[in-house]
Amino acid sequence: KTQPFKGRVVLITGASSGIGRAAAKRYAEAGADVVLAARRLPQVEEAAREVTSLGVRALPVRCDVTQGEDVERLMRETEATFGALDVLVNNAGQGLYGPLEAISEEQLRQVFELNVFGLWRVTRAAMPLLRRRPGAQVVNVSSVLGHRGLPLLGGYCASKAAVNAMTESLRAELAAEGIRVLLVSPGLTESEFREHRLHAEGWRQDPIPLKAMSAEEVATAMVRASLRGRRDTVLTLPGRVMVLA
């Protein structure tokens, strides 16, 4: 089996479940050593054991990306263990459901604090480690909802639209240094996303009979794009992976 990421180091936020956890496995299967970060340490450690069983090194770190000190410690531990970083996957994120009129200011702030500020904070802190490796990459996980404002999802759509804009700006800012910035925009995916999503008061959604793709399928599309090494935007929907160069 070929291991194109052998000797490379990938840091994934939100690696305790869903897409992040599946991505940790996929990158490890491709030979990468993986830093796994999230708040639930037992789950992060379990995911790290899965990764280690694939024959690569794993560093589990408890990290709340909304906390500056946690993020600084994450980078210090990454540096102490691996010395540098080849790929940063900004995956940690949370949903918010309900009309803009009904969501609370606190909920909207919480989602932006994680989806937007968290991604920005981790990226900024990772830059010195990424700069040590030629061909380093940042992979930002957005959503198909980041490309359109849908009803009942305005807070979430706005946060992911901000992710898209930051991705484009960062791409342009880092292009001259050869650091590539990718955007992965999954469609509905099976994960713990629904359980963790915030809801406006009185707005609980009935399960919708939409076809979802698996976190593994999204992770496969992510790692494939990462391997291509282009500054791609990848959209995934059940049965379809679209790459917008």
Q: Hunting for tokens 């992979």 — which residue is that?
A: 139
Out of 60, 93, 154, 155, the residue judged to bind ligand NDP by CB under 6 A? 93
Q: Hunting for tokens 């919480």 — which residue is that?
A: 110
If you write DSSP's letter for every residue of 166-200 in order, what string do you get?
HHHHHHHHHGGGT-EEEEEEE-SEESSHHHH-EE-
- 160 among known catalytic residues: yes
Of 41 and 131, the one with the shorter C-beta distance to ligand NDP is: 41
21 to 60: interface string for ligand NDP, x by CB under 6 A: -----------------xxx--x-----------------
Q: What would the two tokens of residue 200 be?
A: 């406006």
Q: Which of 56, 57, 73 is nearest to 65 (CA)?
A: 73
Residues 95 and 200: their CA atoms lie apart, in Å, by: 11
Of 3 and 64, the one with the shorter C-beta distance to ligand NDP is: 64
| Catalytic residue, candidates 25, 27, 97, 156 | 156
Buried b (16+ CB within 10 A) or exposed e, 1-27: eeeebeebbbbbbbbbbbbbbbbbbbb
- Residues in region 156-175 near ligand NDP by CB under 6 A: none
Q: Hunting for tokens 């070929």 — which residue is that?
A: 2
Q: Among 26-34, 73-81, 88-96, 175-183, which window interacts with ligand NDP (CB under 6 A)?
A: 88-96
Q: Hunting for tokens 């090494």 — which residue is that?
A: 229
Per CB under 6 A, 240 contacts ligand NDP: no
- Residues in region 200-219 near ligand NDP by CB under 6 A: 215
114 to 153: interface string for ligand NDP, x by CB under 6 A: x--------------------------x-x----------
- Site residues, ligand NDP (CB under 6 A): 13-14, 16-20, 38-40, 43, 63-66, 91-94, 114, 141, 143, 186, 188-189, 191-193, 196, 215
Which sequence positions are flagged as catalytic?
A: 156, 160
